[in-house]
Amino acid sequence: MPRNSMHNYIEKILRAKVYDVAEETPLDFAPTLSERINNKVYLKREDLQPVFSFKLRGAYNKIASLTAEQIQHGVIAASAGNHAQGVALAAKKLGIKALIVMPRTTPEIKIKSVKARGAKIVLHGDSYDEAYAHAMELVAEKGMIFIHPYDDPDVIAGQGTVAMEILRQHNADIHAIFVPVGGGGLVAGIAAYVKFVRPDIKVIAVEPDDADCLNQALIAGERVVLDQVGLFADGVAVRQIGAEPFRIAKQSVDQVMTVSTDEICSAIKDIFDDTRSVAEPAGALAVAGLKKYAEQNGLTQQTLIAIDSGANINFDRLRYVAERTQVGEHREILLAVTIPEVPGSFLKFCKMLGKRSITEFNYRYFDSRLAQVFVGISSSGAETDRQQLIAQLRDDGFPVTDMTGNELAKDHIRYMVGGHAPRELRERVYSLQFPERPGALLKFLMALGSQWNISLFHYRNHGAAFGKVLIGLQLADNQCGPFQHCLDVLGLAYREETANPAYRLFVGGSEAWLD
């Protein structure tokens, strides 16, 4: 980024008015995580802001910069959570009327939080994009001032005050600062400040591997729109990086790390172990990237800082987080193991495992010759441990399929192991996402009508805006296209899973098992 442009951001950051409402958050040492990865790890505790997120900084700085004439029109924003709360509190502090457009899928806890801060709410659409489009219609109709969550210089400058505090709080050597990325406002503000004041410090952006809009833009050399994004880390589930954040990031960000859902869940536990606070998935993103970066680079005895960006997590999501944490820490191995259906075979299998703890064991009789077992086994955490176990099982005559990285197995199949369909069904299986709002399932079933027979259905509520569904239907080859067209018309994200080994081994029809 040209130095004069960077200088402009430094001035804006230094003049930012965030401290009328935001707090200077602590930079806390994380002793447990530091010892485990043999580096000095610090957490920038943005989860301790009044709205439990850094978003307040940018929202307030933008609103405080409005002219008297603009203030008369009031402000409007589109958001499903943290930005909405930041805008609401900032507007309340400044005595300005605020309207927030939120998707109908927004959890009730977030709606109540925004209302409690004095903003009016309009629920519209099932996604952020639909809420944003409606907000822009209201801007044209009412003349209100739109407060963008990330693609605005004043918002970016407000977020940049996080970097200003970090460098003041820790003036010794810092190897890298890890920053979560959604639309890019936070990483742009931090990178602009750090690279001007301390260019020796690396700025590492961190994204979910299923919502990596910055990573894909850097690869393409221009902003791209992702076809779909994962929703687990809903606070960063953005399909396109902002224009101004991208301009800054491509000049100032050293590297982008992408992390999995399991790695994010593991990072939530790491933060809890050291702070006794529960980060939201987007809030733990930077810690997940920090751990992965240190491991991949063999880093030791370095100072690493991660932005703990928020703690607005629904309580009912904690069950899902806990389930995925062990795999994220590489401390649970999930396997499909084929065992002879003869007396003593289970005992032989368990003896071979020795003193390893079995975390899960699912089995149901189906075939008189072979038994298919879904098993979870504790691990030391080393990748070689999993490889050695699988090799040992195969050497002892147990065919094994590794399910540790199979999303279908972890989201659905492990809860469905109860036997295969008793006969050939000509079944096609799809995983898809329903918006979590009343009537969504009924709408889907009515759209299907009676033209296709449902042969399998599994759904679990994970406390997110979208629920995950596994559905099987009896479809002839010439019916697959019309069914997929129906899903496209409904606007549902889906993926065919008929060939997925987790399905075929545990719940597929007899033809799938015997192939």
Catalytic residues: 55, 309
Q: Is 3 exposed, middle or buried (0-12, 13-18, 19+ CB in 10 A)?
A: exposed
Q: How far is CA 304 from the centre of its chain?
A: 22
Burial category of 449 from C-beta neighbours within 10 Å (exposed 0-12, middle 13-18, buried 19 and up): exposed
Closest CA to 236 of 258, 262, 269: 258
Contacts for 505 with CB less than 8 Å, ≥ 6 apart? 336, 372, 401, 513
Q: Is 55 left (phi over 0), alpha (psi -120 to 50) or beta?
A: alpha
Q: How far apart are CA 406 and CA 363, in angstroms?
A: 18
Contact 268, 281 (CB under 8 A): yes
DSSP 295-308: HHTT--S-EEEEEE
Within a 10 A sphere around the Cβ of 4, how many other Cβ atoms?
Answer: 7
Q: Could you tell me if residue 464 is left (phi over 0), alpha (psi between -120 and 50 degrees) or otherwise beta?
A: beta
Cα–Cα distance, 358 to 338 (Å, whole number):
16
Cβ within 8 Å of residue 97, ≥6 positions away: 74, 75, 91, 120
Q: Output DSSP code: residue 277.
A: -
Could you tell me if 258 and 286 are in contact, meaning their C-beta atoms sit under 8 angstroms apart? Answer: no
